[in-house]
């Protein structure tokens, strides 16, 4: 597979379906986008020059788990592995962003727990306007005031999590959460913000998702980005029965591909689209995860307590992690219907190959 060529086509589709309509929706958006892309392009070129001089790969994406704390108690959440609340110190977050910037990195996915619980988060991110942040949130804290602030910060793209419709969302996330999520979508749409949605696909909601009339509309939830993520059994209370069966996965994949073809929203399915992006082989080199305690991990499902950005410069952590071979294996990987691409393709390789 020509990964670089496929990734270029992948990025082009994202720009055409997600970013371009927003960019062209107003002169203000066009000006903001040109300013942002100019800064990002400068960092990208810096990264390319630096990569030619060092002996380890510079990640193109950082996934930062800011906190394990959350205002919801969703069943089987992977962030609930901690016995007590963990929060990445703000000085450490600022340091990570500065050090990553010096390496030419510009793409960050912020998650939790609930990322919006992180103290002063929007103000911190406002000082890093030369990077793009995907802000994963449950949406319950996205008030109209928050949406107004986000309207001035085009480099922050909120992605709101839900389970599909009212019944499935409230069952997993709590009574009344679905209506709060829809209110958040309304606030974002009213303030003309580029945003997305994320849905965890389980054996309990997979059939209902394929019936939801809302996905037949032109813009699902008004979002320009949409992500469907198959449930992975992890966390303190993993539930193996929530994994999709082979038949459910095949049926959902076919439905998703048809939806993706007719939708003007850019949609992605994990792990179904991982082969295109080669994400699993990218673990630890193309993207890395930093947990709330500051430890670098090749994948959120492969916890590590070896290299910590609180104690060691980011560049040293990245280099040491790359040369420290680890096997891509975790609990429940041997399950026949496990969603990880590495298992489904029968692969057995180091995450740093």
Q: Take residue 20 and report the two structure tokens written for it.
A: 């371009």
Strand partners, 289: 63, 297
- Domains of the chain, CATH where assigned: 3-344 (3.20.20.70)
Residue 10's contacts (CB-CB under 8 Å, 6 or more residues apart) are: 276, 277
Please state, in angstroms and rounded to a whole number, the distance separating the CA atoms of residues 278 and 276.
6
Q: Take residue 3 and report the two structure tokens written for it.
A: 């990964």
Please state, in angstroms and rounded to a whole number, the distance separating the CA atoms of residues 143 and 156.
16
pLDDT at residue 348, rounded to an integer: 34
pLDDT at residue 2, rounded to an integer: 41
pLDDT at residue 214, rounded to an integer: 62
Q: Do 93 and 162 form a contact (C-beta atoms < 8 A)? A: no
pLDDT at residue 344, rounded to an integer: 46
Q: How far is CA 137 from CA 148, 159, 247, 300, in A?
A: 16, 6, 31, 17
Please state, in angstroms and rounded to a whole number, the distance separating the CA atoms of residues 48 and 106.
12
β-pair type (196-201, 156-162): parallel
β-pair type (296-297, 196-201): unpaired
Name the packing angle between helices 314-323 and 90-102 (round to 10°).
70
Q: How far is CA 182 from CA 177, 222, 353, in A?
A: 9, 10, 42
pLDDT at residue 316, rounded to an integer: 94
pLDDT at residue 345, rounded to an integer: 44
Question: How far does Cα 66 stand from its chain's mean position?
Answer: 13
Residue 28's contacts (CB-CB under 8 Å, 6 or more residues apart) are: none
Per-residue pLDDT of the chain (353 residues; tens, 9 = 90+): 344 555 556 666 777 778 888 899 999 999 999 999 999 999 999 999 999 999 888 998 899 999 999 999 887 776 666 667 899 999 999 999 999 999 999 999 999 889 999 999 999 999 999 999 999 999 999 999 999 999 999 999 999 999 988 999 999 999 999 999 999 999 999 999 999 999 999 999 999 999 877 666 556 788 999 999 999 887 667 888 999 999 999 999 999 998 888 888 888 998 877 655 445 555 556 788 999 999 998 877 777 778 999 999 999 999 988 887 554 555 555 555 555 654 444 433 333 33
pTM: 0.88
């Amino acid at each position: 597979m020509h990964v670089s060529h496929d990734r270029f086509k992948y990025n082009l589709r994202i720009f055409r379906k997600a970013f371009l309509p927003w960019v062209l929706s107003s002169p203000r958006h066009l000006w903001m986008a040109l300013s942002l892309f100019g800064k990002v392009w400068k960092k990208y070129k810096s990264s390319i020059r630096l990569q030619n001089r060092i002996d380890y790969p510079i990640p193109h994406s950082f996934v930062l788990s800011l906190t394990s704390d959350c205002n919801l108690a969703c069943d089987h959440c992977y962030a609930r592995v901690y016995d007590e609340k963990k929060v990445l110190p703000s000085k450490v977050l600022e340091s990570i962003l500065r050090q990553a910037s010096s390496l030419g990195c510009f793409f960050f996915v912020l998650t939790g727990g609930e990322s919006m619980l992180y103290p002063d988060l929007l103000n911190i991110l406002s000082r890093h306007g030369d990077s793009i942040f995907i802000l994963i949130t449950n949406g319950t804290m996205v008030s109209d005031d928050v949406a107004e602030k986000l309207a001035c910060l085009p480099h922050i793209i909120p992605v709101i999590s839900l389970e599909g419709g009212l019944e499935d969302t409230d069952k997993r996330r709590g009574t009344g959460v679905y209506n709060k999520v829809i209110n958040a979508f309304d606030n974002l749409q009213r303030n003309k913000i580029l945003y997305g949605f994320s849905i965890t696909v389980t054996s309990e909601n997979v059939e209902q998702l394929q019936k939801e009339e809302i996905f037949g509309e032109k813009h699902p939830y008004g979002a320009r980005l949409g992500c469907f993520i198959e449930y992975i059994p992890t966390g303190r209370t993993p539930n193996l029965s929530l994994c999709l069966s082979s038949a459910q996965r095949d049926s959902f994949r076919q439905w998703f591909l048809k939806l993706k073809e007719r939708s003007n929203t850019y949609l992605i399915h994990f792990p179904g689209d991982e082969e295109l992006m080669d994400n699993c082989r990218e673990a630890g080199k193309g993207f890395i995860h930093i947990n709330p305690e500051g430890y670098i991990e090749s994948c959120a499902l492969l916890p590590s307590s070896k290299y910590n950005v609180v104690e060691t410069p980011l560049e040293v952590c990245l280099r040491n992690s790359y040369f420290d071979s680890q096997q891509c294996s975790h609990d429940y990987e041997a399950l026949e219907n496990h969603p990880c691409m590495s298992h489904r393709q029968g692969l057995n390789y180091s995450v740093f190959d």
